[in-house]
Structure 1
Amino acid sequence: MICSNETYYMASQPGILTDWPWKPLGSFKYVLMAPWVVQTIIYCVTASHERDLAYCLILPMLMARLVHNQIWISVSRHRSAQGKSRIIDRGLEFSQVDRESNWDDYILLTGHIMCLAYTMLPEVASHLPVWRADGVVLVALLHAGPVEFLYYWFHRALHHHFLYSRYHSHHHSSIVTQPITAVAHPFAEVLAYVALFAIPQFATLFTKTASIASVYGYLFYIDFMNNLGHCNFELFPKKLFSLFPFLKYLAYTPSFHSLHHTKFRTNYSLFMPIYDYIYGTVDDSTDETYEMSLKRPKDSPDVVHLTHLTTPYSIYHLPLGFASLASNPQTAKWYLRFMWPFTFGFIATGWIFGRTFVSERNTFSKLNLQSWVVPRFTKQYLKGQSTSVNKLIEEAILEAESSAAKVLSLGLLNQQEELNGNGQLYIHKFPELKIKVIDGSSLAAAIAVNSIPESTSQVLLRGKFNKVSLAISIALTKRNVQVAILNKDEMTKLHSRLKAKVDLTLTATFDAKIWLVGDGWDENEQMRAAKGSIFIPFSQFPPKKMRKDCFYHYTPAMIAPSSFTNTHSCENWLPRRAMSAWRIAGIVHALEGWNVHECGSTTFNITQIWHATIRHGFQPLEFDIPF
Structure 2
Amino acid sequence: MESSLSTWPWDYLGSFKYLLYGPFIAKWFYSRSQEENNMKEATWCLHILIICLLRCAIHSVWNTFSNMLFLTRNRRIIKEGVDFKQVDNEWDWDNFILLQAMIGSLGFYMLQDQINLPLWDFRGFLAIIVLHITISEPLYYFLHKCFHGNYLFNNYHSLHHSSPVPQPFTAGHATFFEHIILGGIIGIPILGSCLLGYGSLTMIYGYVLIFDWLRCLGHCNFEIISHQLFEAIPFLKYLIYTPTYHSLHHTEKETNYCLFMPIFDVLGNTLNPKSWEMHTKLSIESGKNGRVPDFVFLAHVVDMTSAMHAPFLFRSFASTPFCTRLFLLPFLPLVFVFMFVMWAYSKVFLATFYNLRGRLHQTWVVPRFGFQYFLPFAAEGINNQIEQAILRADKLGVKVISLAALNKNEALNGGGTLFVNKHPNLKVRVVHGNTLTAAVILKEIPQNVSEVFLTGATSKLGRVIALYLCRRQVRVLMLTTSTERFQKIQKEAPVEHQKYLVQVTKYQAAKNCKAWIVGKWITPREQSYAPKGTHFHQFVVPPILAFRRDCTYGDLAAMRLPEDVQGVSSCEYTMERGVVHACHAGGVVHSLEGWTHHEVGAIDVNRIDLVWDAAMKHGLKPVSFLKKTD
State the TM-score, normalized to the length of structure 2. Answer: 0.89
Aligned residue in 2 for 1:104: 94
The residue type equivalent to 2:133 in the other structure is A
* Aligned residues of 2:25 and 2:45 also touching (Cα < 8 A): no
Aligned residue in 1 for 2:475: 482
Once the two structures are superposed, the pairs formed by residues 33-182 of structure 1 within 5 Å of their partners are: 33-40=21-28, 56-79=46-69, 83-118=73-108, 121-123=111-113, 127-129=117-119, 131-182=120-171
Q: Which is further off, 610-619 or 17-26?
A: 17-26
Residue 609 and residue 153 in structure 1: after superposition, are their counterparts in 2 closer, same or farther (change >3 A)? same
Aligned residue in 2 for 1:268: 257
| SS, match of residue 362 in structure 1 | strand
| SS, match of residue 246 in structure 1 | helix
* Aligned residues of 1:132 and 1:211 also touching (Cα < 8 A): yes
The one of 610, 615, 618 equivalent to 1:616 is 618
Aligned residue in 2 for 1:258: 247
Question: Which sections of structure 1, spanning at least 5 residues, go unmatched?
Answer: 1-12
Q: Which is further off, 547-556 or 48-57?
A: 48-57
* Aligned residues of 1:101 and 1:323 also touching (Cα < 8 A): no
Aligned residue in 2 for 1:412: 405
Q: Which is further off, 439-448 or 140-149?
A: 140-149
The one of 220, 231, 234 equivalent to 1:242 is 231
**Shift in Å, 1:332:** 2.0
* Aligned residues of 1:80 and 1:233 also touching (Cα < 8 A): no
**Shift in Å, 1:513:** 3.5
Determine the C-alpha separation between the residues in 1 that align with 2:31 and 2:457: 60
**Shift in Å, 1:553:** 3.0
Residue 60 and residue 528 in structure 1: after superposition, are their counterparts in 2 closer, same or farther (change >3 A)? farther
Q: Which is further off, 401-410 or 430-439?
A: 430-439
Determine the C-alpha separation between the residues in 2 that align with 1:457 and 1:371: 40
Q: Which is further off, 567-576 or 498-507?
A: 498-507
**Shift in Å, 1:542:** 3.2
- The answer to whether residue 425 in structure 2 is matched with residue 453 in structure 1 is no
| SS, match of residue 558 in structure 1 | strand
Q: Which is further off, 305-314 or 275-284?
A: 275-284
Aligned residue in 1 for 2:501: 504
The CA deviation string for residues 151-198 of structure 1, in whole angstroms up to 9 with x for no partner, is 112112222222222221111111211111111112222122112111
| SS, match of residue 353 in structure 2 | strand
Aligned residue in 2 for 1:566: 567
The CA deviation string for residues 79-127 of structure 1, in whole angstroms up to 9 with x for no partner, is 3886302211233221111000112222333344445555664445555
Residue 68 and residue 433 in structure 1: after superposition, are their counterparts in 2 closer, same or farther (change >3 A)? same
Determine the C-alpha separation between the residues in 2 that align with 1:25 and 1:548: 36
Aligned residue in 1 for 2:323: 331
Q: Which is further off, 426-435 or 242-251?
A: 426-435
The one of 416, 421, 427 equivalent to 2:414 is 421
- The answer to whether residue 335 in structure 2 is matched with residue 343 in structure 1 is yes
The residue type equivalent to 2:55 in the other structure is R
Residue 120 and residue 528 in structure 1: after superposition, are their counterparts in 2 closer, same or farther (change >3 A)? farther
Larger radius of gyration: 2
- The answer to whether residue 2 in structure 2 is matched with residue 22 in structure 1 is no
* Aligned residues of 1:33 and 1:112 also touching (Cα < 8 A): no
Determine the C-alpha separation between the residues in 2 that align with 1:201 and 1:172: 28
- The answer to whether residue 377 in structure 2 is matched with residue 387 in structure 1 is no
Q: When the two structures are aligned, how many residues end up with a matched partner?
A: 613
Residue 109 and residue 615 in structure 1: after superposition, are their counterparts in 2 closer, same or farther (change >3 A)? same
* Aligned residues of 1:443 and 1:610 also touching (Cα < 8 A): yes
Determine the C-alpha separation between the residues in 2 that align with 1:344 and 1:369: 30
Aligned residue in 1 for 2:360: 368
Residue 285 and residue 557 in structure 1: after superposition, are their counterparts in 2 closer, same or farther (change >3 A)? same
Q: Which is further off, 605-614 or 461-470?
A: 461-470
The residue type equivalent to 1:149 in the other structure is P
**Shift in Å, 1:491:** 7.0
Aligned residue in 2 for 1:298: 289
* Aligned residues of 2:70 and 2:351 also touching (Cα < 8 A): no
**Shift in Å, 1:259:** 1.4
* Aligned residues of 1:378 and 1:413 also touching (Cα < 8 A): yes
Question: Which sections of structure 2, spanning at least 5 residues, go unmatched?
Answer: none
| SS, match of residue 465 in structure 2 | helix
- The answer to whether residue 354 in structure 2 is matched with residue 354 in structure 1 is no
**Shift in Å, 1:28:** 2.8
The CA deviation string for residues 240-287 of structure 1, in whole angstroms up to 9 with x for no partner, is 111221222221111111111112222222221222211212223323
Aligned residue in 1 for 2:199: 210
| SS, match of residue 508 in structure 1 | helix
**Shift in Å, 1:426:** 2.4
The CA deviation string for residues 295-321 of structure 1, in whole angstroms up to 9 with x for no partner, is 253332222111111121223322212
* Aligned residues of 2:521 and 2:543 also touching (Cα < 8 A): no
* Aligned residues of 1:557 and 1:620 also touching (Cα < 8 A): yes
- The answer to whether residue 587 in structure 2 is matched with residue 586 in structure 1 is yes
The CA deviation string for residues 349-368 of structure 1, in whole angstroms up to 9 with x for no partner, is 43343322110112223432
* Aligned residues of 1:171 and 1:184 also touching (Cα < 8 A): yes
**Shift in Å, 1:442:** 0.9
**Shift in Å, 1:456:** 2.6
Q: Which is further off, 329-338 or 463-472?
A: 463-472
Determine the C-alpha separation between the residues in 1 that align with 2:620 and 2:408: 23
The CA deviation string for residues 429-456 of structure 1, in whole angstroms up to 9 with x for no partner, is 4344332221111111011111222333
Determine the C-alpha separation between the residues in 2 that align with 1:561 and 1:434: 27
**Shift in Å, 1:407:** 1.9
Determine the C-alpha separation between the residues in 2 that align with 1:284 and 1:406: 39
The residue type equivalent to 2:521 in the other structure is G
* Aligned residues of 1:311 and 1:377 also touching (Cα < 8 A): yes
Determine the C-alpha separation between the residues in 1 that align with 2:550 and 2:628: 13
State the TM-score, normalized to the length of structure 1. Answer: 0.90
**Shift in Å, 1:479:** 2.4
